[in-house]
């Protein structure tokens, strides 16, 4: 333990904190996973279920992370040491480990988005699905992938190393509005495409029969997606809330973050499916890396597809960057808070470690999938579950008092929040964890 004398940094503005949290939430989870889940798992019927999970599971869990961060004003390890006793004191380590593992391979995937942006601008995309696939296999692993993994990591190091106000806040104030505006622009463009109406029908038709037949697998999938897409269970929201000085309305901030994340996810579907349908590319069976295969092939088929594609992949790269800086900040905040290391040094050391840990993923896609499965389905859910249990079952008075700081007396809303966390959120996370472990062991 150390005593850092430099006062801890804080966000300069309210909008800065909200943009940072939105930037973290909006990532590959919105742009790839979400639209394809909706398409495959029952269209509007799935959408309704997903929204229920966002509100009933994601929202209470996000508030738990917010209150822990703002109350302790510490990184996840320090925060849990402060509020937990006994073995609970070590739960923060899970968050730092999760952040470290996820970011190592996420950076590799982000490198691919940079590669595909350049590809569009340089040579355009290949319309033939088989050739597009072969191209992806060549580009996605090996020296090319390692080099771009390094480039992406370097960008993350520079932003996080520059600090909360001058680094992260400044960067997200540019990146997040850009993501929102370009996404809307691309959706308007996509509406003019020939295949648009067919695509909307596929994306939004409520197929209750699909849900009725598969609800046992769809339910946990929707819950897991809700958790992942909001950047929960990674310690991100604890860390970002720890830089909040004033007594802000955390419930309102949480609702705004959730609203933006959901809107971007939904609108991305209005881009992806018209593009695929117009090019006659099958939207089913996305598989690993499919964003780079089927979408690139579809862009290869469209007029000016090289340009639209480059803008699309460029936006994905920006979204990945604004997510990656939040995960890096989890680890860096730990090193800065607890280890008496200055921020730039911490960013370089952590980033260097992440680069090395990501090299196996950049060499072999099978390893990347293993890392991904382990982090998403086990570490993430485990950390989230333990935190929610600790806060809702053992520290509910503290939690309600912290949420009320900035709102005023919550009345029965406060108890409703805690009870939802104690019951539904815990139950859903346990089911997701068990299924995740079974899946991993298989």
Binding region for ligand PFF (CB under 6 A) out of 25-33, 46-54, 184-192, 300-308: 25-33
What angle is formed at CA 376 by the lines to CA 373 and CA 379, rounded to 5 degrees?
A: 105
Helix 143-161 vs helix 305-339: crossing angle, to nearest 10: 50
322 counts as binding Na ion under rule CB under 5 A: no
Q: Return d(Cα 260, Cα 441) in angstroms, integer.
A: 35
229 counts as binding ligand PFF under rule CB under 6 A: yes
CB atoms within 10 A of CB 4: 13
Binds ligand PFF by CB under 6 A, chosen from 104, 113, 183, 231: 231
Label each residue of 237-252 as H, E or C: HHHHHCCCCCCCCHHH
135 counts as binding Na ion under rule CB under 5 A: no
Kindly list the distances between the CA atom of residue 245 and the CA atoms of 145, 240, 283, 338, 406, in Å, as whole numbers in the listed order: 40, 11, 46, 20, 11
The number of C-alpha atoms within 13 Å of 98 and in the hemisphere containing its C-beta is 27
Give first-to-last CA distance, the chain, whole Å.
Answer: 41
Binds ligand PFF by CB under 6 A, chosen from 16, 23, 29, 92: 29
Which residues from 260-279 bind Na ion, rule CB under 5 A? 261
100 counts as binding ligand PFF under rule CB under 6 A: no
Q: Return d(Cα 128, Cα 299) in angstroms, integer.
A: 11
Q: Return d(Cα 372, Cα 162) in angstroms, integer.
A: 28
Which is nearer to ligand PFF, 25 or 139 (by Cβ)? 25
Which is nearer to Na ion, 17 or 306 (by Cβ)? 17
Which is nearer to ligand PFF, 297 or 433 (by Cβ)? 433
92 counts as binding ligand PFF under rule CB under 6 A: no
The number of C-alpha atoms within 13 Å of 73 and in the hemisphere containing its C-beta is 10
91 counts as binding Na ion under rule CB under 5 A: no
Kindly list the distances between the CA atom of residue 224 and the CA atoms of 112, 140, 232, 376, in Å, as whole numbers in the listed order: 25, 26, 10, 9
435 counts as binding Na ion under rule CB under 5 A: no
Q: How far is the CB of 97 from ligand PFF (least distance, A)?
A: 14
Binds ligand PFF by CB under 6 A, chosen from 11, 18, 22, 27: 27
Q: How far is the CB of 124 from ligand PFF (least distance, A)?
A: 27
Buried b (16+ CB within 10 A) or exposed e, 9-42: bbbeeeebbbbbbbbbbbbbbbbbbbbbbbbbbb
Which is nearer to ligand PFF, 54 or 132 (by Cβ)? 54
29 counts as binding Na ion under rule CB under 5 A: yes
28 counts as binding ligand PFF under rule CB under 6 A: yes
229 counts as binding Na ion under rule CB under 5 A: yes
Which is nearer to ligand PFF, 127 or 350 (by Cβ)? 350
Binds ligand PFF by CB under 6 A, chosen from 67, 79, 94, 103: 103
Q: How far is the CB of 409 from ligand PFF (least distance, A)?
A: 32
Q: Return d(Cα 264, Cα 270) in angstroms, integer.
A: 10
Which is nearer to ligand PFF, 229 or 361 (by Cβ)? 229
106 counts as binding ligand PFF under rule CB under 6 A: yes
Which is nearer to ligand PFF, 260 or 277 (by Cβ)? 260
Binding region for ligand PFF (CB under 6 A) out of 98-106, 168-176, 243-251, 422-430: 98-106
Q: Return d(Cα 149, Cα 173) in angstroms, integer.
A: 24
Buried b (16+ CB within 10 A) or exposed e, 365-383: bebbeebbebbbbbbbbbb
Which is nearer to ligand PFF, 141 or 229 (by Cβ)? 229
Binding region for Na ion (CB under 5 A) out of 25-33, 111-119, 134-142, 349-357: 25-33
Binding region for Na ion (CB under 5 A) out of 97-105, 258-266, 283-291, 397-405: 258-266
Label each residue of 135-154 as H, E or C: HHHHHHCCHHHHHHHHHHHH
433 counts as binding ligand PFF under rule CB under 6 A: no
Q: How far is the CB of 264 from Na ion (least distance, A)?
A: 8
Residue 193, both tokens: 């495409």
> Where on the chain is the footprint of ligand PFF (CB under 6 A)?
24-25, 27-30, 102-103, 106, 228-229, 231, 323-324, 326-327
> Where on the chain is the footprint of Na ion (CB under 5 A)?
25, 29-30, 229, 261
């Amino acid at each position: 333990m150390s005593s850092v004398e430099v006062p801890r940094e804080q966000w300069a503005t309210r909008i800065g904190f909200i943009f940072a949290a939105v930037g973290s939430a909006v990532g590959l989870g919105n742009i790839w996973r979400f639209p394809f889940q909706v398409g495959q798992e029952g269209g509007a019927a799935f959408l309704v279920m997903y929204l229920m999970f966002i509100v009933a599971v994601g929202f209470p869990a996000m508030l738990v992370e917010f209150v822990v961060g703002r109350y302790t004003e510490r990184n996840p390890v320090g925060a849990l040491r402060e509020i937990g006793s006994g073995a609970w004191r070590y739960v923060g380590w899970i968050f730092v480990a999760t952040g470290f593992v996820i970011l190592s391979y996420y950076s590799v995937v982000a490198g691919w988005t940079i590669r595909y942006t350049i590809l569009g601008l340089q040579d355009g995309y290949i319309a033939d699905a088989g050739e597009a696939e072969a191209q992806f296999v060549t580009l996605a692993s090996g020296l090319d992938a390692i080099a771009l993994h390094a480039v992406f990591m370097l960008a993350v190091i520079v932003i996080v190393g520059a600090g909360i106000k001058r680094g992260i806040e400044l960067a997200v104030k540019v990146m997040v509005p850009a993501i929102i505006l370009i996404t809307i622009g691309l959706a308007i463009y996509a509406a003019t495409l020939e295949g648009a109406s067919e695509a909307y029908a596929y994306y939004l038709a409520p197929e209750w029969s699909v849900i009725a037949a598969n609800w046992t697998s769809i339910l946990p999938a929707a819950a897991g997606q809700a958790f992942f897409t909001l950047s929960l269970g990674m310690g991100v929201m604890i860390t970002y809330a720890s830089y909040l000085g004033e007594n802000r309305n955390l419930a309102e901030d949480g609702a705004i973050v959730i609203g933006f994340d959901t809107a971007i996810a939904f609108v991305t579907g209005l881009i992806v499916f018209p593009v695929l349908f117009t090019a006659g590319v099958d939207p089913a069976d996305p598989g690993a890396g499919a964003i780079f295969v089927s979408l690139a092939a579809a862009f290869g088929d469209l007029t000016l597809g090289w340009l639209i594609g480059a803008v699309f992949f460029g936006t994905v790269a920006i979204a990945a960057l604004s997510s990656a800086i939040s995960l890096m900040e989890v680890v860096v905040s730990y090193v800065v808070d607890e280890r008496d290391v200055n921020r730039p040094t911490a960013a370089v050391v952590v980033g260097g470690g992440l680069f090395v840990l990501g090299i196996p993923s950049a060499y072999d896609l099978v390893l990347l999938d293993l890392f991904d499965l382990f982090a998403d389905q086990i570490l993430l859910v485990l950390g989230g579950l333990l935190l929610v249990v600790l806060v809702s079952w053992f520290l509910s008075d503290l939690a309600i008092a912290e949420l009320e700081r900035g709102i005023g007396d919550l009345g029965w809303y406060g108890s409703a929040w805690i009870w939802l966390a104690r019951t539904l959120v815990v139950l859903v996370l346990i089911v997701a964890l068990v299924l995740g472990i079974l899946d991993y062991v298989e």
